[in-house]
Every structure is written in C-alpha cells, then in structure tokens.
Chains A and B, each alone.
Chain A
C-alpha cells in the first residue's frame, strides 16, 4: 500500500485542487484522506455523503470546583501559561490559555481541580462522487491537538484501504511545517510538493522540504502557475536538481481552476484541454512510482 501526501509549505498554491483532481483520476483505486483538519476544503469538491461521523476527544483542560477551592493560589503559581487569573475573588481557568498539562491539579491541596477530556473536533467517513471513500475531519474552533486528529484521519484511511484492498491512499496535508504537517508525513511513502514560482513559494518549499528530508521520504514537485514568473520557475528547477526531487509537472496559470471550483468541480472534470492532460500525466507518474 502506498501513502501519497500532498503538501506545500505555503498556503494557496493549489494543493487541494490538485489533490482532488488526482482523487478523480484515481477513482475507485484510491482512498482519500483530507488531513488539512483546521481548514478542510476537499469535501467541497468531492460531494461526500457524511455517512459516518464521530466526535474526537483528545487532551484535557483544567476546571476548578469553586465550592472545594480554598483560594490558596498554588495552581496559579505553578501555571506556566498564566491561565488561572483571579476574577471576582475566584480562581478561574481560561480555557483558551490552558495547555492541559495538569500541573495545577497535581498541586491543589483541596483536590478542587479536575482535568476533563476535550472534544476537539469530529471526523467523518463518507462515500464520495468518485465511487470511493474519503476520511475527513473538522477541528473545533481554536482547538489544540490538530496533529492527533490528523493521525486519526490517517489511521482510519489506512484501515479502510486495508479492508477494501485499495493500494493507494491520497492525503491532502495542511500548510506550514508544524504539528499537523509532521503528523501527516509520518508513515508516508511519497510526498508531492505543490509550489508556485514566487519568492514566498520557493522560501516555503525549501523549509517544508527540509522537514521531508528529516523523514527520509522521496519527493516530487508540481510547479503550479509556472508561467507567472519564468525566472523563479528556473530557480525551482535548480533547487529540485540539487536536492534530487522529481519534477512531476508544470501547470500554467489558469483561472479555470477557480471556475471549476465555483461549480463544485475539479479542474479535470471541467477542462478538457491542456491542464487536464498535464494532470493525467502527473497522476500516471505518481501512481507508478
């Protein structure tokens, strides 16, 4: 089984549009996993039926029982996040500041602090329009532990692939280099880096690739909007060569990506010309790697 993870470092390079196109081209052969859990967009193109939904619990937050509290202030003293201010003469935990370490509960002499498990989001298992299944999720507002939710989505997708004897899992990752990205890279067989020829695109590509290297995963690159800046596209070529990253394809700037999206379609369902051809060729390369 192959797990192909699509990431970009920088947001807005076309990661999700391209992943959804591959999902269409892969059809029944692939299981789709949307791991961009704090801004999941893939479902807008995949028409999921939201068949199964489950709450996801992870991490804990402190809560003080005011009846038991003796107002000694030990909890506030040990809290590194200043999450327990005194409001109207009561020690009150600020949920957005609490890190969930539980140190306060350990030192409370009155046993007034409980650490309650948090519902940080939901994950879904859906049938999608391409005749296969997709695992996706929605992180709660401002929730922590997005990395753990990513890990959950991936493990559910893997179990599905095994059960249904599918050979490919297609994973849409999130921007950045932090915990959700680290989590989506773990266990990946191949990474597709989607970039654009801009100073920001290249800067972020280099940083995210350094992270990929730490995992020792083989990578390929798609340069989107390649004709926006031919000089920068050349710079990307040079970088790929030095790092021995496969150049999978170059896609020209095309507003049909957006037009397709407004109709809830991927570009390969919308465009019958050059872009579709490029993506079909790209998918073949990735599939047979």
Chain B
C-alpha cells in the first residue's frame, strides 16, 4: 500500500508527519519511507539508520559528435524544448533544457547525437530494524525534479513487495513534481494548517487530488492557532479530518533539533495513532 503525505503549502508539517508516522508504524511492522521532495529533502534529518545502498542517478542527454554530422539542423527542428541549437558550424546542446525524449538522437541521419548519461542526483537507502528509508537529492542547478522522483519510485517498486506500507514524503505545491510523487499512491494525506494560507493551498491540493481521482484525508497541524475555516471546508466537502496535531511551541523546539516528537509529546502520539487507525481501516476496506 502506498500513502503520499502531501500539501499545497510548504512548511505545514509533511516531513514531521511522514517521519513520526513511519517511525511509530515501524514499532509494529515493516514500513518504507521515501523522501520524494528531491529539491529539499528533509526526512533524513529525523531518521537514522545504516546505509545499505547509495547510487548515482542519471538522465540521458544527447552529446554532439561532430565527425559525421552534416549540419542538417533536423535535431534543432525536432526539439520542442529549445535544448538543441544549430549554429553555423556547430550543434549546441543545453543539458538543463533537455527532457530526454531521444527525438534528436534517434532521428539524426548520421547518429551524431548519441545519448549519454548525465548525473542528476543521488539515491540513498538506509535501514534500521523494520524501517527502510530512501531519499534522493537533486544536484543543485538541475531544474527538473520529475525524472529523479520517477527513478526513486522505480527503486521502491523493485525492492519492496506490494503489501508493504510505503510512505511518500511529497514535495509542496501542485505542479508536475507533486503529480509524479502522488500519481501511484493509493491514499493521499494532505497536511495543512488552520490559517488562510493553509486553507487556500489545501483547496488547490484537494482539486489536484480530485483530478487524479485519489482518496484523501486531511491532517490539521498547529491545530488551535488561526481559525475554524479549514474544518468547515472539510465538513462541507465531506473530506475526513483524520488528525489534529496541536499548536505547541515545544513541538517547534523539538523539531528544530531534528528530533522525533511522539516519544516526548503524548498528544502527538495520540494523533499519529488516529492516522494509523484510519490507514488500517482504509487498507481493510480496499483489501490492499
């Protein structure tokens, strides 16, 4: 079973929920946490374990070989992303614009643009008892997170059976990286806060997940601050609120040191148990 922890707004507590939930689940059964916020992965700051695998991840981009090139310019013509440009005597490739579609390479009449691997990030796999933790980090300057998210998900699929509970810590927002990180998930848990920003971005996230036809639940973090509008919105739209994590300065302080919360704050543990109950009921209902 795959569960994505997502949110429209950044900084609402996705990583806090992902890491604490995974750690608590692992006290009873095997669970895999994958940090898919490859631009700014933070789960690893809260989870420790023995590193059992580290691999570089590559994307394929064309590299110009001038010897046979007849400078026909077909490569530039077929590229939809302006990543290949024909100048008077050379072909220039802009790797950061390339999406790796292979069109220029495979349609080149002289095979002068072979695809070569270019490193875009690193994947690391840690293990601690029942808990497997996987994180990928995008190289700074690489603009496209989606290919790395995709390869990370492939790694998870190849290494763990379907039955295992897999938690994905998703990136913020509603654009393509979020779609990639959530599209294979069975259940999406949206973490929000009870503020106007939280509500506005929650609505965007809900619309996005509806477009993907996903089942969703909402977790309200910093509950008690702000106003009641998030709760009203969820009630009006029949979206289950499955946990309310209280607003406490102490939580912010513990979090700031990179520590998990539920050992120290019983209120947090109680809310995580609500989430676990919701997940196991969902699992039974959907025979996952």
Contacts and interface: CB of A to CB of B under 8 A. Distances in A.
**Binding partners A and B:** yes
Interface of A: 9-13, 16, 38-39, 41, 44, 60, 78, 80, 96, 99-103, 106, 115, 139, 141-144, 146-147, 174-180, 182, 196-201, 203-204, 207-208, 210-211, 214, 225, 228-229, 232, 253, 255, 258, 261-262, 264
A103 B103 contact: yes
Interface range for B = 35 or more
Given A101-B103, A142-B211, A142-B212, A258 B252 contact: no
B258 interface: yes
B58 interface: no
Contact of B225 (A147, A174, A198, A258): A258
Contacts of A180: 175
Interface in B167-181: 171-179
A10 B208 contact: no
Contacts of B177: 178
Contacts of A182: 141, 143
Contact of B256 (A41, A174, A196): A196
Contacts of B102: 78, 80, 103
Contacts of B249: 228, 253
Given A12-B9, A178-B177, A101 B99 contact: yes
Given A41-B201, A141-B174, A176-B39, A211 B207 contact: no
Contacts of B246: none
B42 A177 contact: no
A175 B140 contact: no
B10 A11 contact: yes
A41 B173 contact: no
Given A142-B211, A178-B142, 4 more contacts: A39-B174, A102-B80, A141-B204, A198-B252
Contact of A99 (B10, B101, B212): B101
A182 B97 CA distance: 12
Interface string B248-266: 0100110111100000000
Contact of A12 (B10, B100, B103, B171): B10
Contact of A142 (B15, B107, B141, B175): B175
A30 B87 CA distance: 41
B22 to A, nearest CB: 16
B100 A80 contact: yes
Given A96-B183, A142-B179, A38 B99 contact: no
Interface majority SS on B: helix, strand, loop or mixed? loop
B106 A78 contact: yes
A198 B255 contact: yes
16 contacts: A38-B173, A38-B174, A38-B175, A101-B99, A139-B175, A141-B204, A142-B179, A142-B208, A142-B212, A176-B37, A198-B255, A199-B42, A229-B253, A232-B256, A232-B257, A261-B195
Contacts of B40: 9-10, 175-177, 203-204, 207-208
Contact of B176 (A144, A199, A204): A144
Nearest to B183: A96
A12 B11 contact: yes
Contacts of B72: none
B241 interface: no
Interface string B162-205: 00000000011111111100010000000000011100110010
Nearest to B177: A178
B195 A258 contact: yes
B150 to A, nearest CB: 9
Given A11-B10, A12-B10, A13-B11, A44 B175 contact: no
Nearest to B211: A141
B201 A258 contact: no
B12 interface: yes
Contacts of A80: 100-102
A144 B175 contact: yes
B255 A39 contact: no
Contact of B143 (A38, A101, A179): A179
A106 B144 CA distance: 24
Contact of B99 (A99, A142, A176): A99
Residue of B175, B183, B253, B258 ringed by the most chain A CB atoms within 10 A: B175
Nearest to B205: A39
Contacts of A174: 173
B138 A177 contact: yes
A253 B252 contact: yes
Contact of A44 (B100, B171, B200, B227): B200
A243 to B, nearest CB: 14
Nearest to A201: B256
B196 A44 contact: yes
Contacts of A143: 175-176
A96 B174 CA distance: 13
A262 B226 contact: yes
Contacts of B15: 200
A144 B143 CA distance: 12
